[in-house]
Amino acid sequence: MIKAKNLKVGYEQKIIIEDLSIDIEKGQVVSILGPNGSGKSTLLKALSRMVKPKSGEIYIDGKAISKEDPIKLRRNIGYVIQNIGLFPHLTIKENIELIPKLKGEKTEQEISDNTERLIKMVGLDPDEFLYKYPSELSGGQQQRIGVIRAIATDADIILMDEPFSALDPITRTQLQEWLYELQQELKKTIIFVTHDMDEALKLADKICIMQGGKIQQYDTAENLLKHPVNNFVKDFIGSDRLWSAPEYIKAKDIMIKNPVKAIETRTVIQVMEIMRTNKVDSILVTDKNNLLVGILTVKELRQNGIQDYYIYKVMNKNPLFIYDDCNLIEILNIMNKENVGHIPVVSKDRQLVGLITRSSLLSVLSEQFLEMEVSILD
């Protein structure tokens, strides 16, 4: 775990970071975003003691790094930077193995075996690439080598400063996917600076947005999109950002709350009156504890005739439903696949909490598109 407490960092009289505190859990990917001059790269440098804080402290696994040997500390932290930083006069194999050999903790054979394992992991053939020089590789290939060179140090912490910003969009997207898959296997603690919100949303467990040397919000992607803490964060993310990431739009965000319902011990005549009053052609049925137990439609009532018996005798006892954390893409897929115009929403313990209909979905989507048009016109 990394913990920064009350950090103040600056150069001469200029303060770059002021009273910054942050906790980063082991194995998490944390993205740091903000405008130029907000202190993003300075924070990375402070984490590796490349700059010394004027006050405050940074702890790694409970140990204050100010008391650690800076050379030893840096050899146990991996770095990936924008311009890659491979030594042009060394082969790819020599670049990857430089720090492990300096550390002297493994035999030559162990280091060599690990190098081959890592280069295969990033989809490159050891026989083809290990003895090439950086100039013989494409930008995307060089950046992959930069990442595995950081991993080869056996570092639990990897710092990345705009690692993919100089690459073309296609290569950049490919490397983002590759890094995500690699992290699922290795579970390193990765802190990366980026200007790209889409990149942060794809890769990060938590996102830290900075301005003026201070953290404006440090949160999960979902909370940032749904609950920005101030106008700066809201504007920085973009008002329509949530709708470009529909996996974060959940049923509980767009459902109709308090849908028309009836307890299963109601009679058919009573329920018909409830449906007539509320102008609906179906009704959700719950038990006395509000658990969804069925659905009753006008069609089913007509088939059984108007009789004075309880609705649980004629209702559909296996209603289609979704959970409240189901996302927009899943909702649309289910409704299209099952060809239904509405679907109940339940909590994890199957309590009825809402209803989604095609018309309510259209209404929500139309409102968003209207807001987007207004923001463009403004």
Share of the chain above pLDDT 90, in %: 37
- Confidence at 207, pLDDT banded by 50, 70, 90: very high
Query: Pairing mode, if any, of strands 2-11 and 55-60?
Result: antiparallel
Residue 74: predicted pLDDT: 82
Edge-to-edge strands, sheet with 157-161: 77-81, 157-161, 189-193, 29-33, 206-211, 214-219
| Residues 60, 2: Cα–Cα separation, whole Å | 5
Residue bearing the bigger pLDDT, 309 or 88:
88
Q: How far is CA 101 from CA 115, 128, 331, in A?
A: 12, 22, 53
- Confidence at 284, pLDDT banded by 50, 70, 90: very high
Name the one residue in this structure whose structure tokens are 């463009």. Answer: 376
Q: Which of 14-18, 238-242, 298-302 shows the lowest mean pLDDT across its residues?
A: 238-242
For the segment 320-342, the average pLDDT, to the nearest whole number, is: 89
- Confidence at 374, pLDDT banded by 50, 70, 90: very low
* Encoded tokens for 57: 């402290």
Taking only the tens place, the pLDDT of each residue in 112-149 is 998 998 888 777 899 999 999 999 998 888 888 888 88
Residue 246: predicted pLDDT: 74
Residue bearing the bigger pLDDT, 102 or 373:
102
* Encoded tokens for 18: 């002021």
- DSSP-based three-state secondary structure for 242: helix
What residues have CB less than 8 Å from 367, skipping those under 6 apart?
none
The DSSP annotation for 109-147 comes to HHHHHHHHHHHHHTT--HHHHTTS-GGGS-HHHHHHHHH
* Encoded tokens for 225: 């999109």
| Residues 198, 237: Cα–Cα separation, whole Å | 10
* Count of C-beta atoms within a 10 Å radius of residue 187: 12
For the segment 179-202, the average pLDDT, to the nearest whole number, is: 87
For the segment 252-259, the average pLDDT, to the nearest whole number, is: 88
For the segment 347-369, the average pLDDT, to the nearest whole number, is: 79
CB of 294 within 8 A of CB of 317? yes
- Confidence at 82, pLDDT banded by 50, 70, 90: low
For the segment 348-362, the average pLDDT, to the nearest whole number, is: 88
Residue 368: predicted pLDDT: 52
Residue 242 pLDDT exceeds 70: no
Cα 258 → chain centroid: 31
Residue 372 pLDDT exceeds 70: no
- Confidence at 273, pLDDT banded by 50, 70, 90: confident
| Residues 284, 297: Cα–Cα separation, whole Å | 9
Structural fold of domain 2-238: Rossmann fold (3.40.50)
For the segment 17-25, the average pLDDT, to the nearest whole number, is: 94
H helices of the chain, in order, are 40-47, 70-75, 92-103, 108-121, 126-129, 139-152, 169-186, 197-203, 221-226, 231-237, 251-254, 268-278, 298-304, 328-338, 358-377
DSSP state of 241: G
Residue 371 pLDDT exceeds 50: no
CB of 5 within 8 A of CB of 56? yes
Handedness of CA 106, 112, 113, 118 (dihedral sign): positive
What residues have CB less than 8 Å from 373, skipping those under 6 apart?
none
**Of 60, 290, 268, 282, which is closest to residue 155 (Cα–Cα)?**
60
**Of 226, 224, 208, 204, which is closest to residue 216 (Cα–Cα)?**
208
Residue bearing the bigger pLDDT, 167 or 372:
167
Contacts 24+ apart (CB under 8 A), 367-371: 368/240, 368/243, 371/239, 371/240
For the segment 280-308, the average pLDDT, to the nearest whole number, is: 84
Give the start-to-end residue ranges of the domains of the chain.
2-238, 252-363
CB of 319 within 8 A of CB of 341? no
Count H helices, E strands: the chain?
A: 15, 17
Name the CATH superfamily housing domain 252-363.
CBS-domain (3.10.580.10)
Taking only the tens place, the pLDDT of each residue in 140-175 is 888 888 888 888 877 889 998 887 776 778 877 877
Residue 367: predicted pLDDT: 54
